[in-house]
Amino acid sequence: MPQGAAECNPLGEVLVDRQLSMAALARLYLQAVAADGLLSGADRNLIWKWKTGRRTPTPESQGYLADALGVPRSVIVEGWPHWLRHAIGSGASVLEPPWSLAGTMQVLNEMAGAPVDRREFVVITAGALTALVGHWGNAVAGSSSAAGLHGRSQDRLNPDLLDRLDGRLADLRQLDDALGGTELRNLAVAEFRWLVHLADHASYDTESGQRLFSLLAEAARLCGWLHFDSSHHAAAQSYYVTGLRCSAPANDSMTGANVLACVSFQAALTGHHQDAVSLIDSAQQQVRRHATPRLRALLASRKARAHAKAGDVVGCGRALGDAERGLDAASTDTTEPDWLYYFDEAELTAQAGACWVDLHQPARARPLIDDALRNINPNYVRDRAIYHARSAEAYLQDNELEPACHELRTAVDLAYRSGSVRSLETVCTVRLDMSPHDHEAPVRELDDHLHILDAQIASR
């Protein structure tokens, strides 16, 4: 290794700028590889070798690293490690404009004109995401910008049209249950762009404008969720921030809290556990006086998952108790937001099971996951894939290899049906955990099944 190579390699600066550990970057790299349906053995040790100059990644590996960092692959031509400078940034296009109606419209028009490809977005650091929550809280508390909502044409929005637009978003949510983000994200972005066009050009009074911006907040959140499900993390963050901004002029803190729940979930699953907890704390504080029971349960379940990822057994258990009490308080007499339709007892039970898997307590996890799989809506193909993968992980933690492989095979079949990159990533992660058993018969049979599926997909 040439003297000073480690000091000159920008990868260390990228890790600091993104607030990423080497293990966290390895996970993002694995996700980028899995997005192409491939497996990789990359870990923190490989990232360390790249960082210190002990190894130079191949051009193919650099491409996946660029994907993981959310920068265009075209910059790789500048040579290793110089192109890494392009990965240092803060996603300023959605963060810097003021939290006013004019600033929100600026962000909306930028996002509506942006390409769908995630490589045009820059990953926003966890610290920047946490800081924006204060801006959101102040904007919702003021909500004076709502009085300035108006359009520029004679095409006037009315309640019937807004109901239809709301219904289109509901249809997209239902389609996501079966198809996942890979199939749907372009359709969701088209819907988002149409709503931005209406916000910019239609005519509407304050009440209709607030509802329109509430729909925009949900459309942006849905775009963020679908990009997250496709492992397009930088784009997901930008859409989430856009949704949070739209919830302020809509005076809709509950939709904003749901956006923060999604941001927290993404943060928890990408290694920013304490930031994930802080984001939920902020959401709970903002809606503490008017959150519905089901929303309180959802927020508490997201906090439990963040605590579990951080290894905090006590915090996780406390949050799961809060979630159970919130769901017990839900009744048919309470009007809940339409976007909470999926959060029922089966979903909470599955999330609780996932928490105990994260905490390496398979005896507590398996009965919960089994119960969730018995009761989950059969149309939720992606969720069933992920829960079967969690079941496989729990069996593996109990050193029960044969049922673990059986469950993972079921997960694989469902994951390929759903087209969800996130479900495929979950399967790949569990399969990597099985690596010490590579030469045992159940794992070899599972791999044979994977090879057959890959060949079938390649022949289409």
Task: Please state, in angstroms and rounded to a whole number, the distance separating the CA atoms of residues 74 and 278.
Answer: 36
Mean pLDDT score, 388-411? 96
Predicted pLDDT at 131: 73
Percent of residues, the chain, with pLDDT higher than 70: 88
Which is higher by pLDDT, 141 or 392?
Answer: 392
% of the chain at pLDDT higher than 90: 50
- Asked if the model's pLDDT at residue 217 lies above 70, the reply is yes
Mean pLDDT of the 329-351 span: 90
Over the stretch 224-281, which tens digit does the pLDDT of each residue have? 999 999 888 878 889 999 999 999 999 999 999 999 999 999 989 888 888 899 999 9
Average pLDDT, the chain: 85
pTM of the model: 0.79
pLDDT in tens, 288-322: 988 999 999 999 999 999 999 999 999 999 999 99
CA distances from 399 to 60, 65, 433 (A): 35, 33, 12
Least confident of 28-32, 190-194, 335-339, 438-442: 28-32
pLDDT of 117 reads 44
CA distances from 391 to 76, 345, 347, 413, 448 (A): 40, 18, 15, 15, 21
pLDDT of residue 335: 85
Domains in the chain (CATH in brackets) are: 5-87 (1.10.260.40), 89-251 (no CATH), 344-460 (1.25.40)
Sign of CA dihedral 268, 270, 272, 275: negative
Task: Quote the pLDDT of residue 71.
Answer: 77
Q: Which helix (H) or strand (E) holds 152?
A: none
Closest Cα partner for 395 from 351, 363, 354? 363
User: Mean pLDDT over residues 386-414, rounded?
Assistant: 96
- DSSP 8-state code for residue 123: P
How far is 423 from 83, CA to CA, in rounded Å?
31
pLDDT at 51 over 60: yes
By CB atoms closer than 10 A (0-12, 13-18, 19+), residue 332 is exposed
Tokens standing for residue 391: 């079941």
Position with higher pLDDT, 5 vs 445? 445
For the chain, the maximum distance between any two Cα atoms, rounded to a whole number of angstroms, is: 70
Residues 6+ apart with CB under 8 A from 375: 345, 346, 349
What's at 186, amino acid-wise? N
At 101-150, the pLDDT tens digits run 888 898 898 888 765 444 445 556 656 766 778 888 888 776 654 445 55
Q: CB pairs under 8 A, 24+ apart, for 66-69?
A: 66/119, 67/32, 67/35, 67/118, 67/119, 68/25, 68/28, 68/29, 68/31, 68/32, 69/14, 69/18, 69/28, 69/123
Q: What is the pLDDT of residues 149-199, one digit of tens each?
A: 555 555 688 899 999 999 999 999 999 888 777 778 889 999 999 999 999
> What's the average model confidence in pLDDT over 30-58?
85
Helix (H, G, I), strand (E, B) or coil at 203: strand
DSSP H or E segment with residue 150: none
Backbone angles phi, psi at 83, to 5 degrees: -65, -15
Q: Are 368 and 352 in contact (CB under 8 A)?
A: yes
- Determine the pLDDT at residue 8: 47
